[in-house]
Chains A and B, each alone.
Chain A
Amino acid sequence: SQQGEEDPQALSIQEGENATMNCSYKTSINNLQWYRQNSGRGLVHLILIRSNEREKHSGRLRVTLDTSKKSSSLLITASRAADTASYFCATDGGGSQGNLIFGKGTKLSVKP
């Protein structure tokens, strides 16, 4: 069964605005990751947050994790046209090896 589900499915904003994407999951996890996929390209890892962490920053990215609600959010501040991409959350389902489970993604469009 699908583990992560992102919302919204699509988000359109103006350059300079902030973009927030949410992810919900169903089982316990060891960590949660966010990935970006540009059109026609492979996925690129953005950030990993462990189950004992509540917030993590990386440049213009801020990720929060609420294990009690089984949810995470990705905030991109001061968005740029180059941020236009699909964003996926992925969880390990609390298991041991591999089996990273991806959600369906949020398609972000940043208009110049």
Chain B
Amino acid sequence: DTAVSQTPKYLVTQMGNDKSIKCEQNLGHDTMYWYKQDSKKFLKIMFSYNNKELIINETVPNRFSPKSPDKAHLNLHINSLELGDSAVYFCASSRQGWGELFFGEGSRLTVL
């Protein structure tokens, strides 16, 4: 069983479109995260959720919105996609708000 799974793995879309990436963890963790990795491999945290409450929201455009229907899921919705949104997006989870992170395999988003 995959601990943290995210779909889709690849996403190619046009500028201006709206898209979603789904994430699920079966580890029973309390906190889930979204990270963005740019073309230079730099990882930056975007959001984290703890018990369905947003506890971190870095300087991310409000076109990005996390949605957590339950503790095991944290989906990422992106509106009005821009070229600069092209990146690999990673979902992760942890038992507490710190400690070891378990990452998904990433979703590569390409905006044309």
Given contacts A42-B106, A43-B90, contact A98 B45 (CB under 8 A): yes
B residues 18-55 in Cβ contact with A at 8 Å: 31, 33, 35, 40-45, 48, 50, 55
Q: Is the CB of B50 within 8 A of A42?
A: no
Tell me the smallest distance from the CB of B90 to a CB of chain A, in Å. 6
Residues of B in contact with A (beta carbons under 8 Å apart): 4, 31, 33, 35, 40-45, 48, 50, 55-56, 90, 92, 94, 97-106
Question: Pick the contact of A100 from B50, B55, B101 — CB < 8 Å?
Answer: B101
B-chain residues with CB within 8 Å of residue A98 when the two chains form the complex: 31, 33, 45, 48, 50, 55-56, 94, 97-98
Q: Can you spell out 10 A-B residue pairs with CB atoms less than 8 angstroms apart?
A: A35-B101, A43-B43, A43-B103, A44-B103, A48-B100, A90-B101, A99-B48, A100-B101, A102-B43, A104-B40
Interface size on A, residues (CB 8 A): 26
CA distance A84 to B88 in the complex (A): 20
**A41 near B106: Cβ-Cβ < 8 Å:** yes
Indicate if the CB atoms of A30 and B98 lie closer than 8 Å: yes
Q: How far is the CB of A45 from chain B (nearest CB, A)?
A: 5
Additional A-B contact list (8), CB under 8 Å, known A30-B98, A99-B48: A31-B98, A43-B90, A86-B41, A90-B101, A98-B98, A100-B33, A100-B101, A102-B44
